[in-house]
């Protein structure tokens, strides 16, 4: 497989989370779904292949460059936020505003992608502008298409 793929570790908890997400998208949230998963945040991301690279774009409105961490571990690209939800401790509640409606949340997230074999792990650039994170992952030179001329 050549494309950048979403990294999903193989364990039972992950399988159950996937099942809950699929069932939730069909039936709506279940009353059995824990509250922490009801508010789990996963930013919208697009991954596409260009001529000489892979492009990953993530919508992160309200985030700043300092809120994000991007790591590369072996061939796994990890994008996560450093922003944390308040702990719920008494001193945190005293410093918070009182909300009447709260639909926007400041939650942490983490997404992982397995890079394809032809990705150049040493040639990844990141830009962040207007809430859009754009990563360009170049393909290794030897893996790119090239024209071979037929000699006489």
pLDDT tens digit sequence for 5-63: 666 666 665 666 666 665 555 444 445 545 444 456 788 899 999 988 999 999 998 88
Q: Is residue 76 part of a domain?
A: yes
Residue 116 and residue 76: Cα distance in Å, rounded?
Answer: 9
Q: Is residue 99 part of a domain?
A: yes
pLDDT at 107 (0 to 100): 76
CATH number of the domain bearing residue 93: 2.60.40.790
Determine the structural domain holding residue 109 and report its residue range: 41-141
Q: How many separate domains does the chain show?
A: 1
Q: Is residue 50 part of a domain?
A: yes
Q: Is residue 49 part of a domain?
A: yes
How confident is residue 98, by pLDDT bands cut at 50, 70 and 90? confident
Q: Is residue 149 part of a domain?
A: no
Q: Is residue 106 part of a domain?
A: yes
Q: Is residue 31 part of a domain?
A: no
Evaluated on CA atoms 58, 64, 68, 72, the torsion sign reads positive
**Residues 76/112, Cβ–Cβ less than 8 Å:** yes
């Amino acid at each position: 497989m050549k494309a950048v793929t979403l990294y999903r570790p193989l364990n039972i908890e992950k399988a159950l989370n996937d099942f809950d997400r699929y069932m939730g998208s069909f039936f709506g949230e279940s009353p059995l779904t824990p509250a922490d998963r009801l508010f789990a945040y996963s930013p919208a991301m697009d991954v596409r292949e260009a001529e000489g690279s892979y492009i990953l774009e993530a919508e992160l409105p309200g985030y700043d460059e300092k809120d994000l961490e991007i790591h590369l571990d072996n061939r796994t690209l990890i994008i996560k936020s450093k922003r944390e939800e308040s702990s719920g401790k008494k001193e945190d509640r005293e410093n918070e505003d009182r909300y009447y409606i709260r639909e926007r949340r400041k939650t942490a997230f983490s997404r992982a992608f397995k890079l394809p074999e032809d990705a150049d792990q040493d040639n990844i650039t990141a830009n962040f502008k207007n809430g859009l994170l754009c990563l360009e992952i170049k393909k290794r030179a030897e893996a790119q298409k090239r024209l071979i001329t037929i000699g006489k």
